Copies of this chain bind each other. A is one copy, B any other.
Amino acid sequence: MAIRVTVWNENVHERTDPKIGQVYPAGIHGALAELLGNAGDISVRTATLDMPEHGLNEAVLEDTDVLVWWGHLAHDQVSDEVVDRVQRHVLRGMGLLVLHSGHMSKVFTRLMGTSCTLDWRDNDRERVWCCMPSHPIAEGVPLSFEIAEEEMYCEPFDVPQPDELVFIGWFQGGEVFRSGCCYHRGYGRVFYFQPGHEAFPTYRTHPSVRRILVNAVRWATPARRRGPLECRMVDPAESGAPRI
């Protein structure tokens, strides 16, 4: 059975800035959907900010194995109700990939519990290094690869220590960044991946970045969905019985 992915994009840059529109004519969500849809074992739908409930109603999330998130300019336009819903589904098992400037999105800061701030600068050259080459997300990817043009993000990155730190970014200007971070939250798996500035066609053209995204979707796919998130009173009578 195919992995069911929903790619969410605020879709603002692409419509308001002609340069970005040229880089991603089908939107960043369109590029990501095409990439993932070609993997063979993934079925993709897309959702954007301007749709009712941002395209993420209960039925959509219930039908989603992994949600991919790209946002930047419009983080504060995402409704808290949708953020609550996404968080609840992640804790119940839905996978989540948060890309690039999504580090400041409400869904990511909610799941991290920290500010997720970092320092940054436009236009640099990045080299991404793998520091956990046995990780499934690194499978088939060189130990290091370059991204000719990328926005610089640097430490300190205000996130919890990753459960698994897979990639570290090197920037020519002299900075480093924890570029690929895995987290387990509830029954869900979360992967933050730094590359993907809107001004460059990275998601359309970079083979290692593209391979990592496919790997990450597979890694984040849950085996099952947890039931309601609640505190349950254990009856003394059932104390000796196995819990399901």
Contact = CB atoms under 8 A, between A and B. Distances in A.
A131 interface: yes
A18 interface: no
A173 to B, nearest CB: 4
Interface in A198-235: 222-224, 226, 229-235
A148 to B, nearest CB: 11
A71 to B, nearest CB: 14
Nearest to A130: B156
A42 interface: no
A183 interface: yes
Given A117-B229, A121-B233, A144-B243, A129 B176 contact: yes
Interface residues of A, number: 73
- So how many copies of this chain end up in the complex? 4
Nearest to A228: B117
B234 A158 contact: no
B168 A186 contact: no
Given A173-B239, A233-B121, A239-B173, A184 B155 contact: no
A45 interface: no
Given A119-B234, A185-B160, A174 B223 contact: no
B112 A233 contact: no
Contact of A114 (B91, B114, B129, B242): B91
A160 to B, nearest CB: 6
Among A120, A146, A154, A230, chain B packs the most CB atoms within 10 A around the CB of A154
Given A178-B131, A239-B174, A242-B144, A223 B156 contact: no
A39 interface: no
Contact of A93 (B134, B142, B187): B134
Interface string A136-150: 100100111110000
Interface of A: 87, 91, 93, 104, 110-115, 117-121, 127, 129-134, 136, 139, 142-146, 152, 154-158, 160-161, 163-165, 168-171, 173-176, 178, 183-189, 222-224, 226, 229-236, 239-240, 242-244
